[in-house]
Amino acid sequence: MRRARQLAGLTQDQVAETMEWSLSKVIRIEAGTVGISANDLKALLALYKIADEDQVASLLALARAGRERPWQSVYRDVVSPRLLQLIEFEAAASISRNFQPLVVPGLLQTEEYARAMFRQFAGDIPDTGVDARVEVRMKRQEVLDRADPPLLFFILDEAATRRLVGGTDVMRGQLRRMTELAARPHVTIEVVPFSVGAHPGLQGPFLIEEFPDPADDDVLYLESPQGEVLSRDDPDLILHYREVFEELRHLSLGPEGSLSFLAKLADDMA
């Protein structure tokens, strides 16, 4: 819808004024955080001068599907709105690039590792809250087993592979899980060794989602102690992180070297 608006030469403010909507409604529809009714969509398509019957039918079908409650909606009280958005983008992506300097990426975590992580930061959260967060993490991993999985690229700093989250047994299981996943044709795991010294990834974790339609903007997800950032409207910033990711791949042990490193590290914990 954002692309259709732009092709029509309209700003979000102009759309909001013409449709007699709030600006926030237009922003949320384009961001995918809320659905849109069939009647509202028809009016919007008329404003954008989209009259092709096939295109209108396709967009109406998408709108109806978008109004169905996704599985993650039941966890709205458990995880942040930005993470809920990320999960939607994650399911639609064709390529995912994920860098983690301190911990194993969520899509690669075993249930035991995830539970140990959430318990560490649980604070006053009851056990049921920890269980719900683990459930979300495990359900996100269903993307790994899809018939049409995306290409998944993971880069970890060596620190993430050596930190004993949950103890030796849990970490050994986590390392072996990663070696199993790295053998899949659509999964690439690479480790940046301590020997490279300081590198651009030490600024923090990030994730980039890319979609099948080249016209769809990439999505950048950043995590920090100050909160999460989800961006798809800053191409220069996203390009910067794409370049950082490629630099980290160059600094890594490579797919085969990383697989050998992880396997040896797991064996050494036996």
CATH of domain 75-268: 3.30.870
Quick check: 68 pLDDT over 70?
Answer: no
Mean pLDDT of 229-235: 88
pLDDT tens-digit series, residues 173-191: 999 999 999 999 999 999 9
Per-residue confidence band for 69, with pLDDT thresholds at 50, 70 and 90: low
* Range 2-66 has CATH code 1.10.260.40: yes
Phi first, then psi: give them for residue 109, nearest 5 degrees. Answer: -70, 140
187-231 confidence digits (pLDDT tens): 999 999 999 999 999 999 999 999 887 778 899 999 887 788 999
95: which strand partners? 151, 210
Looking at the whole model, is its pTM more than 0.85?
Answer: no
Amino acid at site 179: T
* Residue pLDDT, tens place only, 245-270: 999 999 999 999 999 999 999 999 87
Residue with tokens 């050994």: 172
pLDDT at 31 exceeding the cut of 80: no
For residue 63, CA distances in Å to 36, 44, 46, 84 come to 6, 12, 15, 18
What share of the chain has pLDDT > 90, as a percent?
55
Average pLDDT over residues 50-73: 75
Q: What is the chain's mean pLDDT, rounded? A: 89
Query: What pLDDT sits at residue 187?
Result: 98
Rounded CA separation 53/71 (Å): 31
Query: What one-letter code names the amino acid at 56?
Result: V
Residue 91's alpha-carbon distances to 10, 33, 109, 152, 208, in angstroms, are 30, 15, 17, 12, 13
In this predicted model, what pLDDT tens digit does every residue of 123-163 receive, in sequence order? 777 778 899 999 999 999 999 998 889 999 999 999 999 99
- Flag whether pLDDT at 170 surpasses 90: yes
pLDDT of the residue at 209: 95
Which is it for the CA torsion 219, 222, 228, 231, positive or negative?
A: negative
Which sequence spans correspond to the domains of the chain? 2-66, 75-268
- Do 102 and 160 touch, CB atoms closer than 8 A? yes
